[in-house]
């Protein structure tokens, strides 16, 4: 299973469009700011599976029912995703990590800071950054997981 992780696109979706066109992703996870971007991507790629949460700049979204956070399982790994602003991620990751651990998650994904971050261990913590960077997670059939941060155009 191959997962694309993006965040903080803020109306600039062309890099995401190009990544989805080039990649063969089973899922695309968008971590907020701006949910409308994910809706636009869904209309461009109706067969692509998307999972998303809203961020601090999504107060005006057409559907107030979009969640601030989600917990789900993919490839045998339990994920906790959020934008991060409600967990004060610009100051510390302690609250975010402890919440994910309490939820018995293997992976926590967040955005908000616009800075790429990856920590692998018993809990994988990833922030894909914004517009010009993204994350990839690959989970093989045995449940082994590889997480990587990439810059847009690195592979061209």
Q: What is the pLDDT of residues 56-106, one digit of tens each?
A: 988 766 566 779 999 999 999 999 999 999 999 999 999 999 999 999 999
User: What is the value of pTM for the model shown?
Assistant: 0.94
**Is there a contact between 62 and 37 (Cβ–Cβ < 8 Å)?**
no
Rounded CA-CA distance 42/119 in Å is 29
Q: What is the pLDDT of residue 153?
A: 80
């Amino acid at each position: 299973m191959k997962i694309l992780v993006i965040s903080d696109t803020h109306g600039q979706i062309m890099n995401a469009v190009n990544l989805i066109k080039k990649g063969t992703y089973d899922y695309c996870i968008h971590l907020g700011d701006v949910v409308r971007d994910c809706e636009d991507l869904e209309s461009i790629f109706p067969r692509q599976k998307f999972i998303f949460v809203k961020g601090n700049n999504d107060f005006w979204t057409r559907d107030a029912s979009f969640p601030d956070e989600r917990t789900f399982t993919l490839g045998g790994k339990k994920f906790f995703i959020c934008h991060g602003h409600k967990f004060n991620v610009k100051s510390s990751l302690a609250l975010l990590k402890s919440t994910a651990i309490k939820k018995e998650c293997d992976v926590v994904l967040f955005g908000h800071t616009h800075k790429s971050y990856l920590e692998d261990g018993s809990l994988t913590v990833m922030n894909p950054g914004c517009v010009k960077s993204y994350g990839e997670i690959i989970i093989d059939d045995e449940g082994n997981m590889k997480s990587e941060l990439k810059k847009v155009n690195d592979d061209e």
